[in-house]
Amino acid sequence: MGLYAYRRVAGGGGATIEAPDRASAVRELVRRGETPATLEEVGAQVAPRGAQPAGASVLDARAAGGLGAPAAQASRWTMRRAMSRTEMAAFIRELATALQAGLPLVPSLRTLARTGRSPAQRAMLAALIHDVEHGQSLADAMAAWGRPFGDLTINLTRAGDVSGRLPEVLAQTADLLDRDVKLRGSIKSATIYPAILATLVTGAIIVVVTVIVPNLLKDFAGGAAALPWQTRVVQGVAAFFGDYWWIIVPAVVLGIWGINRFYATARGRLWCDERLLRVPLLGRLLRDVAVARFTRTLGTLTTAGLPVLTALRVTKGTLGNSAMERTIDGVIEEVAAGRTISELLDRSGQFPPMLVQIVNLGERSGRLDQLLTQAAGAFEDRTETSVKLLTTALPPLLVVLLAGVVGFVVLAIMLALLNFQDSVSAL
């Protein structure tokens, strides 16, 4: 890295700039709006590890991720993994707090960049600072960087920029992200135990059918006595898994791969999501989660001052179910043509009547944002109830399933033993 001294044409004066070569130094000075009268290399300077050269462009800063040029491509991938949803919510809240305390935007970002961030996150903040200092809005800088900034955060930030209420809107954004993180966390924690239990049940059934049953019933194979049908069923299943496991295992792997490929397509995801909504307990949970997100997100966006159509487009991406997203697509088209939101939600049949009435009242009174924000808490409580219902009902169902399978196997073995005893007694 070279160190170049230059003297300005306008206003005189001189300074130094770091750049990999003379041409890069000239380009950086022109980009800054300065015209050098002279430019001379005064020496080479080795940049410390993790430092970003002053003459590098914002694209270089984003690519390097604060880790040096050799890590250019890897740092983008690392950046997407470095800031989780929880960290993003904390970052937005810290920024809102700094702005509410009276700090300007750029000093606020610089302060956050110095508070224990990872190298990848500091690189992201350096890129945001660079773009904002060169005239871009914070929302445009977020959009230029991409992940981990989503459409929701970018559109709310843009609404705060336009309305002049950026600190307040960022605080609302942080609240929304926090609630989304809490909801995701409650769903994950609630499904851990049923998932573990389902795995244990499946493993127990496989062991019983493929290991225990063949050893217990091997003495009855080819016996003169006719075995009960329960025993023959268990023997047939055990023999099938024992003889064709080398086909079953690849078939299961191929089936999982095919399902994932099918679900990755728009048509496949729509087909699966429509049927998931009809599954008892699970369908109710998925619908309640989508409704809670829809209510909270739409209320927050409209409160921030976004137009209804823009708010609906952003909200659609938070539902997590393509069948309900398609409904919102239809709502957006009809609302653009002059129809009301409540009428279209009611016609779809996928949203609860309570939400339809709230939206109807909000549209008539002009207080849609307030009513949605007030109702969001009720729908989030309903989601927690659905989660508790699922986690309460699913484990006993899995236990009953395991007990039924094991009981059938035990019955098959006992009937075979009794049948064998009767045959021996008859001799």
Give the chain's mean pLDDT.
Answer: 76
Tell me what pLDDT residue 51 has.
Answer: 40
The total domain count for the chain is 3
Domain-terminating residue out of 179, 209, 237: 179
- CATH of residue 171's domain is 1.20.81.30
pLDDT(73) > 80: no
Assigned domain for 337 exists = yes
Rounded distance between C-alpha atoms, residue 280 and residue 100, angstroms:
47
- Most confident range (mean pLDDT) of 89-93, 120-124, 236-240, 257-261 is 257-261
Q: For residue 396, what are the contacts with CB-CB under 8 A and spacing of at least 6?
A: none
Return the H-helix or E-strand segment holding 38.
Answer: strand 36-44
> Which of 120, 117, 142 is CA-nearest to residue 75?
120
* Same domain assignment for residues 252 and 370: yes
Q: How confident is the model at residue 11 (pLDDT cuts 50, 70, 90)?
A: low
In the chain, the percentage of residues whose pLDDT exceeds 70 is: 78
Tell me what pLDDT residue 226 has.
Answer: 67
Domain-terminating residue out of 147, 179, 211: 179
Rounded distance between C-alpha atoms, residue 320 and residue 289, angstroms:
9
Q: What is the mean pLDDT of residues 87-111?
A: 84
DSSP one-letter code for 37:
E
pLDDT(18) > 80: no
Rounded distance between C-alpha atoms, residue 216 and residue 238, angstroms:
11
Sheet with 2-8, strands from edge to edge, namely: 14-19, 2-8, 36-44
Rounded distance between C-alpha atoms, residue 4 and residue 36, angstroms:
11
Q: Which has more pLDDT, 248 or 210?
A: 248
Secondary structure class of 12 (helix, strand, coil)? coil
Assigned domain for 216 exists = yes
* Same domain assignment for residues 287 and 334: yes
Q: For residue 423, what are the contacts with CB-CB under 8 A and spacing of at least 6?
A: 223, 224, 225
pLDDT(130) > 60: yes
Tell me what pLDDT residue 253 has.
Answer: 93
Report the range of poorest mean pLDDT among 42-46, 194-198, 274-278, 318-322.
Answer: 42-46
Q: What is the mean pLDDT of residues 129-139?
A: 82
> Which of 382, 88, 416, 409 is CA-nearest to residue 225?
416
| pLDDT tens-digit readout, 98-109 | 888 887 888 888
Tell me what pLDDT residue 48 has.
Answer: 39
| pLDDT tens-digit readout, 362-421 | 888 888 888 888 888 888 888 888 888 877 887 888 888 878 888 888 888 888 778 777
Tell me what pLDDT residue 220 has.
Answer: 62
* Same domain assignment for residues 388 and 265: yes
Rounded distance between C-alpha atoms, residue 6 and residue 286, angstroms:
63
Q: What is the mean pLDDT of residues 157-163?
A: 75
pLDDT(77) > 50: no
Range of 21's domain? Answer: 2-55
Burial bucket for residue 46 (CB in 10 Å: 0-12, 13-18, 19+): exposed
Tell me what pLDDT residue 177 has.
Answer: 83
* Same domain assignment for residues 216 and 138: no
pLDDT(145) > 90: no
Burial bucket for residue 425 (CB in 10 Å: 0-12, 13-18, 19+): exposed
- Most confident range (mean pLDDT) of 10-24, 33-47, 268-282 is 268-282
* Same domain assignment for residues 336 and 362: yes
